[in-house]
Structure 1
Amino acid sequence: MEAGLDTIVHIAGDPISQFVTLVLLLVLARIIVQGKATDRFLVHIGFFVLLTILLVGHDVAPWTTVIDDEDLPHRMFIGIAKATWWAGGAMVIASSVRVYLIIERKPREGRLLQDLLVAIIYIGAALSIIAFVFDLPVRTLIATSGVFAIVLGLALQSTLNDVFSGIALNLGRPYSVGDWIEVEGGVRGQVVETNWRSTHLLNDANDLVIVPNSALAKATLTNLTGGDAIHGSKVVIRALPSKSPALIEETMRTVLLSANSILKSPPPSVSITALDGSAVEVELSFKVSSLGQTGVAKNEIFDLVYRHTKAAGIQLSLAANASAVMNPDPGSKHPGTPWRLLTSIPLFSTLTEDEMEALANSMERLAFKKGVVIAPQDASMTSLMIVRSGVVTIERVSDHGREELTRLAPGDLFGERGVLMGAPEPATMRALTFVVVYEISKEHLASVMHQRPSLAEELSQLLAKRVETEEHLKIDGRSAVEDHPVSLAARIRHLFGVQQRSIP
Structure 2
Amino acid sequence: MSDGAMKVYGRLAMIIAALVVLVILDRLFTGPVAVVSGLSEVTLTQWVVGALCLAITVMLARVVKREVIHGWLERRSGKDVPPLIGSLVSGLVIFIGICLILAFVFQRDVTALVATGGASLMILGIALRDVMLALFTGILLNVEKPFRVGDQVRINDRLTGKVERITWRTTVLQTGANETVYVPNLQLSSAVILNQAQPDNRSKRSLELTIDYDTSVESAERILYAATLAAAGVTHVSPPTVFARKLTPDGVLYEVAFTIGNYGDGKKAEHAVIKSILQCMRDADIGIAFPKAGSITIEGRTRIANRSLDVFHLVQQVRLFRGLPQELCHRISGALIEHHFAAGATIVRAGERRHSLFIVGEGMAKRTASDREGASVEEQRFIATEFFGRKALFACQPHNATVTAETALLMYEFDRRAFGRLIAETPALIETFASALAHLAWRETYQHSADEEPPPDVIDRLINLYRGQIEANYGPRTEPVSLAAE
User: What TM-score do you get using the length of structure 1 for normalisation?
Assistant: 0.53
In 2, the alpha carbon distance for the partners of 1:359 and 1:307 equals: 21
Partner SS, residue 243 of structure 1: coil
Partner amino acid, structure 1, of 2:66:
M
Partner amino acid, structure 1, of 2:269:
A
Residue 239 of structure 1: how far off its partner (Å): 0.6
Aligned to 1:410: 384
Partner SS, residue 268 of structure 1: strand
Aligned to 2:346: 372
Aligned length: 380
1:112·1:167 contact (CA, 8 Å) conserved in 2? no
Residue 206 of structure 1: how far off its partner (Å): 3.2
- Relative distance call for 1:93 and 1:317 in structure 2 (3 A) is closer
Structure 1: runs of 5 or more not aligned: 1-21, 28-43, 69-78, 102-106, 322-331, 417-424, 461-488, 499-504
Aligned to 1:34: none
Residue 177 of structure 1: how far off its partner (Å): 3.8
In 2, the alpha carbon distance for the partners of 1:142 and 1:403 equals: 80
Counting only pairs closer than 5 Å after superposition, residues 211-360 of structure 1 correspond to structure 2 as 211-259=183-231, 261=234, 263=236, 265=238, 267-318=239-290, 337-342=314-319
Counting only pairs closer than 5 Å after superposition, residues 174-189 of structure 1 correspond to structure 2 as 174-184=146-156, 186-189=158-161
1:389·1:437 contact (CA, 8 Å) conserved in 2? no
Residue 280 of structure 1: how far off its partner (Å): 0.8
In 1, the alpha carbon distance for the partners of 2:180 and 2:273 equals: 30
Partner SS, residue 163 of structure 2: strand
Percent of residue pairs identical = 18
Residue 298 of structure 1: how far off its partner (Å): 1.9
Residue 288 of structure 1: how far off its partner (Å): 1.6
In 2, the alpha carbon distance for the partners of 1:268 and 1:362 equals: 34
2:365·2:409 contact (CA, 8 Å) conserved in 1? no
Aligned to 1:392: 365
CA deviation map 1:123-175 (0-9, x unaligned): 3576599999xxxx999887666555544444444444434544565677654
**Is 198-207 or 310-319 further displaced after alignment?**
310-319
Residue 62 of structure 1: how far off its partner (Å): 12
In 2, the alpha carbon distance for the partners of 1:62 and 1:360 equals: 112
Counting only pairs closer than 5 Å after superposition, residues 95-106 of structure 1 correspond to structure 2 as 96-98=71-73, 101=76
Among 133, 144, 162, the residue aligned to 2:134: 162
Q: Does 1:458 align with 2:447?
A: yes
Aligned to 2:66: 91
CA deviation map 1:345-398 (0-9, x unaligned): 9xx9xxxx7999999999997987743365859x9xxx9998554312254667
Structure 2: runs of 5 or more not aligned: 31-53, 101-107, 294-308, 391-398, 415-429, 464-486
Q: Does 1:448 align with 2:416?
A: no
In 2, the alpha carbon distance for the partners of 1:455 and 1:360 equals: 26
In 2, the alpha carbon distance for the partners of 1:359 and 1:247 equals: 22
Residue 276 of structure 1: how far off its partner (Å): 3.5
2:360·2:409 contact (CA, 8 Å) conserved in 1? no
RMSD (CA atoms): 6.2
1:113·1:171 contact (CA, 8 Å) conserved in 2? no
In 2, the alpha carbon distance for the partners of 1:355 and 1:63 equals: 116
- Relative distance call for 1:220 and 1:115 in structure 2 (3 A) is farther
CA deviation map 1:86-118 (0-9, x unaligned): 6467424446514762xxxxx35xx59998985
Partner SS, residue 447 of structure 2: helix
Partner amino acid, structure 2, of 1:448:
H
Computing the radius of gyration over CA atoms, which structure comes out larger, 1 or 2? 2
Q: Does 1:26 align with 2:15?
A: no
Counting only pairs closer than 5 Å after superposition, residues 32-111 of structure 1 correspond to structure 2 as 44=5, 59=18, 87=62, 90-94=65-69, 96-98=71-73, 101=76, 107-108=77-78
Residue 236 of structure 1: how far off its partner (Å): 0.6
User: What TM-score do you get using the length of structure 2 for normalisation?
Assistant: 0.55
Counting only pairs closer than 5 Å after superposition, residues 5-24 of structure 1 correspond to structure 2 as none
In 2, the alpha carbon distance for the partners of 1:312 and 1:365 equals: 16
- Relative distance call for 1:455 and 1:245 in structure 2 (3 A) is closer
1:374·1:430 contact (CA, 8 Å) conserved in 2? yes
